[in-house]
Chain A
Amino acid sequence: MSKEVMEYDAVIVGGGPSGLATAIKLKQLDSNLNICLLEKGSEIGAHILSGNVFETKALDELIPNWKELNSPVKTKVTKEKFLFLGRHKSLSWPTWLLPSVQKNHKNYIISLANLCRWLAEQAEKLGVEIFPGFPASEIIYNQDGSVKGIATQDMGVDKDGNKKDSYQPGMELYAKVTVFAEGCRGHLGKQLIKKFNLDEGKNPQQYGIGFKEIWEISEKNHQEGLVMHTAGWPLDNNTYGGSFVYHAENKQIFLGYVIGLDYKNPHLSPFDEFQRFKTHPAIKKIIEGGKRISYGARALIEGGIQSLPKMFMPGALLVGCNAGTLNMPKIKGSHTAMKSGIIAAETINEHIKENKDLSIYEEKFKRSWAYKELYAARNIKPSFGWGLIPGIIFTGIDQILFRGKLPFTLKHKHADHETLKSANKMPKIDYPKYDNIITFDKTSSVYLTGTNHAENQPVHLKLTNPNLPIDYTLDKFDEPAQRYCPVGVYEIQRENNKAKFVINSQNCIHCKTCDIKEPSQNINWVTPEGGGGPKYGNM
């Protein structure tokens, strides 16, 4: 049965900062354009997880009077700290010695999910049609190979692929230009990069996994506007990562941890590193007596411009983290994502009106402040491949003395799925037990994400080879999926001495880590039924 079709000037896949900025800018340029935006979450913001210390530069350009429109950008950064953590001690790093990319005095502490909800309101006022609960599951191509649009997911299909009573076929949405704004490791973006060779001549993309918890803490420990970052313990010198602690409004703190997915030891459990991190005296004293109210995780881009693919192809554009516009040393990607969306909108408008080629998108992007920023930051992450201390020294020279203008570019050599070493060659890690006060297990954590997927639907984590986990990955890497998945979707169960690989897909929080880190790229994340996944509040 052929699907019903709707046609638009532009279809935008994903309601994050990049997609919403694209939609708003398009309507500002021409209110007659027909714009449709799809979001897989049950509402805008439900799948958004971010720090977030927000640079308003792109928002200033997009909606200059945002302060008058009751936007949720309220808490100004008032104070900053940077700590190096040893096992028991911590060393405070003077902020004047921090490279300027690490300074935040003009920025705001926000919930990016709430900013997206507000941006969606602005977009709807301008006439953008926003459809939450509708994942784009498939790319539709024209005969000449250019992108024609997307198809939304069928609803009401049972786990064996049969139609249920509630079956509702997906739709095909065609557009003059389709904008892919799926965020880090977009499920369709990944296919486009491959099909159009967009990453040709680029370094492999680098990713991290970011955890976040929201805590309500006691008044005496709370300093609204304080931004703190840490490096060091509990990670060893060769694993890239660090924490953030942002003191937001209402006595809440946003506590998070980012770990580079290029880690080598398959026994490492990012989740447990994060839990353990909270037991450091410098952190524990902040959250003690407080209450954890939210939990979640999401992969993020770390590759920078070395890994930034071509962002245009016939009929379509990649924006934001779906391309990879995040500035890693800053761990900031919302402002650059929005800027890429603004430029994409300008491009589409010129394409429709003046028939200009979509390649002008990349030219415009390269001339923008967003690109300059990414260029200056390009050598920081790769330099940490030499270890924490050499990385810091290099970064000091590169950023403070040369302001990112050193005449060479360091490379990312490996994709993240290639970096794991054999399990029997790497040390096992003994993680402490959870105390249920400061540290928690995955079961109680997943509960806080509100995630759910309607029962009896096809599993949305597809194995290319269903036997590989048991036949190969278990022996070689002790099946790291058990550890890198932040909510325990993957389990090895043993029955009568036989190991079985179990996928609890209903718990998935759409972080995309498995799709990135699986050593044989054997796990493919595809879109589940609409509305499934986490129900994040102010993440």
Chain B
Amino acid sequence: MKILVAVKRVIDYNVQVRVKEDNSGVVTENIKMSTNPPDDNAVEEAVKIKESGKVKEVIAVTVGEEKAQETVRKALAVGVDRGIHVKSEGILEPLAVSKILQKIVEKEKPDLVFMGKQAIDDDCNQTGQMLAALLNWPQATFASKIVVKDKSLEVTREIDEGLETIEVNIPSVITCDLRLNEPRYASLPNIMKAKKKPLEQINVADLGVDTKPRIEQIKVEEPPKRKSGIKVANVAELVQKLKNEAKVI
């Protein structure tokens, strides 16, 4: 078996995101970037399954600018066998990314595609689902536990009401939750080895995919500042304020 893991480069989760002055987007210059956190869980799970002997090869793929390669290198340093970087500039919507990944799946013919449940930059939570649809494969989203069986996976999903366990046939697309596992750290020797592992670069134009944005982004704004609260002296004042000022009762 073969697993393809998709990883994305995003603004590091510790960094405070700032809106550009002209409201055209967020500032990414001079900002620390990292792998999207649940993608690390996807990589970890794929590597674990490989270590258990059930999978022969794990491939990591990313789509994005030149520097996005770093996320693939990081995956290579924790046990992924080889990497693919689809080079593209500018904004890519989830649909475009799904179509690109579809091409990569057609080329690499993996049995499973693992990815993060959503990216923390746009929080779309769409790419995995759209990819499954394009491939006409079953999907299991928000996976917090994966058991590999003969021709299927038993996947526990994090859903609003609690946990749901489903069985999906292979091939399928799985999107991973942060609770799935604890990603390992890369060791120094493995980081060095990762520098020598194969990393194929593909130009997005060569895949023949229409990546034109379907959505027009009008304006990016910071959420309004929360007004500071006030202290009330007693219940009577609270009721009075709720009635007359907040007008909620």
Contacts and interface: CB of A to CB of B under 8 A. Distances in A.
A537 B189 contact: no
Contacts of A134: 188
A107 B137 CA distance: 61
Given A46-B32, A537-B30, A538-B30, A156 B14 contact: no
Contacts of A451: 14
A450 B189 CA distance: 28
A336 interface: no
A224 interface: no
Nearest to B27: A293
B182 A168 contact: no
Contacts of B184: 156, 166, 168
Query: Max chain A CB contacts within 10 Å: which of B16, B185, B187?
Result: B185
Nearest to A216: B21
A280 to B, nearest CB: 26
Given A131-B191, A450-B15, A535-B15, A530 B31 contact: no
B33 to A, nearest CB: 9
Contacts of A166: 182-185
A131 B182 CA distance: 22
A147 B142 CA distance: 50
A6 B189 CA distance: 8
Nearest to B225: A436
A448 B16 contact: yes
Interface string B1-25: 0000000000010111010010000
Interface in B101-128: none
Contacts of A131: 188, 191
B188 A450 contact: no
The size bracket of the interface on A is 20 to 34
A452 interface: yes
B187 A168 contact: yes
B207 interface: no
Contacts of B16: 447-448, 450
B41 to A, nearest CB: 12
Contacts of A530: 185
A164 interface: yes
B30 A111 contact: yes
A450 B14 contact: yes
Interface string B178-209: 00001111111101100000000000000000
Given A6-B188, A450-B14, A451-B14, A165 B182 contact: yes
Contact of A537 (B32, B183, B188, B192): B32
Nearest to B191: A131
Nearest to A169: B187
Nearest to B21: A216
Interface in A488-539: 530, 535, 537-538
A156 B184 CA distance: 8
Contacts of B18: 293
Interface residues of B, number: 20
Interface in A6-65: 6, 42-43, 46
A173 B183 CA distance: 25
A152 B186 CA distance: 13
A198 interface: no
A165 B44 CA distance: 12
Nearest to B33: A43
Contacts of A6: 188-189
A473 B60 CA distance: 54
A352 interface: no
Contacts of A537: 15, 30-32
Given A165-B182, A537-B31, A537-B32, A152 B188 contact: yes
A277 B92 CA distance: 45
A43 B14 CA distance: 14
Contacts of A42: 12, 32, 34
Interface in B26-42: 30-32, 34
A535 B16 CA distance: 10
A4 interface: yes
A114 interface: yes
Interface in A163-214: 164-166, 168, 171, 173
Contacts of A450: 12, 14-16, 32
Contacts of A535: 12, 14-15, 32
B182 A164 contact: yes
Contacts of A43: 32
B79 to A, nearest CB: 12
Interface string A441-472: 00000011011100000000000000000000
A456 B14 CA distance: 17
A216 B31 CA distance: 15
Interface in B157-194: 182-189, 191-192
Contacts of B185: 155-156, 166, 168, 530
A273 interface: no
A4 B30 contact: no
A171 B187 contact: yes
A129 interface: yes
A535 B184 CA distance: 21
A458 to B, nearest CB: 16
Contacts of B186: 168
A537 B12 CA distance: 11
A37 to B, nearest CB: 12
B15 A129 contact: no
A19 B30 CA distance: 22
8 contacts: A42-B32, A111-B30, A129-B192, A155-B185, A156-B185, A166-B184, A537-B15, A538-B30
Given A452-B14, A537-B30, 19 more contacts: A4-B187, A6-B189, A43-B32, A111-B30, A134-B188, A155-B185, A164-B182, A166-B182, A166-B183, A166-B185, A168-B186, A171-B189, A173-B188, A293-B18, A450-B14, A450-B16, A535-B12, A535-B14, A537-B15
